[in-house]
């Protein structure tokens, strides 16, 4: 297993539309899934990663909201979500998002609060799950990557809703007083 390189904006490979996965018996696909899991776990406070973020143009995302700094109780744990389709959604809420492909920024994005998604797992088995709050937001964020969208495409104002990421754990020294 390996940690894969994450594409960083403005890399144009982040902007393409991904193809559906059809061959679930492919051993290379299964190895790639394992590598993507390692990649997600290696990212700082990472709860999701999409295949196109590593340059692979397939409709697959991985997510695990139990890895969040403050995980919500009602999450589904680690999910391999292949060929996802949102069946329905409700409610809207603005919240802050970040992205491995835009490591220096966060932004306020409006997303559905509740979603039901249909997808296939790593073996091709069909599933439908309802997600809410943070987990629903993570799913929508990662699914945007499958259509070449970044969270910055969804913010209302780059001036008011895009922020430089704060570096945690680094204290700036105070200048000496004279």
Largest CA distance in the chain: 70
pLDDT at residue 146, as a whole number: 98
Instruction: Report if residue 41 sits inside a domain.
Output: yes
SS3 139: helix
Residue 15 lies in a domain: no
CATH number of the domain that 109 lies in?
A: 3.90.45.10
Q: Supply the range of the domain harboring residue 144.
A: 21-164
176 pLDDT above the threshold of 60: no
Q: Which residues pair with 81 in a beta bridge?
A: 61
Q: pLDDT, tens digit, for every residue of 107-126?
A: 999 999 999 999 999 999 99
- Residue 32 maps to a domain: yes
Per annotation, catalytic residue among 20, 93, 126, 142: 142
Q: Quick one: pLDDT at residue 72?
A: 84
Does a structural domain hold residue 48?
A: yes
Residue 128 placed within a domain = yes
Query: Is 142 a member of any domain?
Result: yes
Examine the residue annotation and report whether 97 is marked as an active-site residue of this protein. Answer: no
Is residue 169 one of the residues assigned to a domain?
Answer: no
44: pLDDT strictly greater than 90:
no
Q: Where are the beta strands (DSSP E) in 51-133?
A: 60-64, 78-99, 102-120, 126-132
Average pLDDT, the chain: 93
Domain count, the chain: 1
- pLDDT tens digits, 50-82: 999 999 999 999 999 999 988 888 899 999 999
């Amino acid at each position: 297993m390996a940690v894969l390189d994450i594409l960083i904006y403005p890399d144009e490979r982040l902007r393409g539309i991904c193809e559906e996965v059809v061959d679930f018996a492919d051993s290379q696909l299964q190895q790639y899934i394992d590598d993507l899991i390692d990649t997600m776990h290696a990212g700082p406070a990472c709860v999701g990663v999409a295949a196109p973020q590593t340059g692979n143009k397939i409709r697959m995302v991985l997510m695990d909201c139990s890895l969040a700094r403050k995980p919500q109780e009602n999450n589904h744990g680690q999910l391999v979500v292949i060929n996802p389709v949102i069946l329905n959604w409700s409610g809207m809420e603005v919240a802050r998002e970040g992205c491995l492909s835009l490591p220096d920024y966060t932004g306020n994005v409006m997303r559905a609060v509740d979603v039901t998604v249909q997808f296939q797992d790593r073996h091709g088995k069909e599933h439908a799950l309802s997600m809410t709050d943070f987990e629903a937001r993570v799913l929508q964020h990662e699914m945007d990557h499958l259509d070449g969208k970044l969270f910055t495409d969804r913010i209302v104002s780059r001036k008011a809703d895009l922020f430089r990421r704060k570096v945690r754990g680094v204290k700036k020294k105070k200048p000496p007083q004279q």
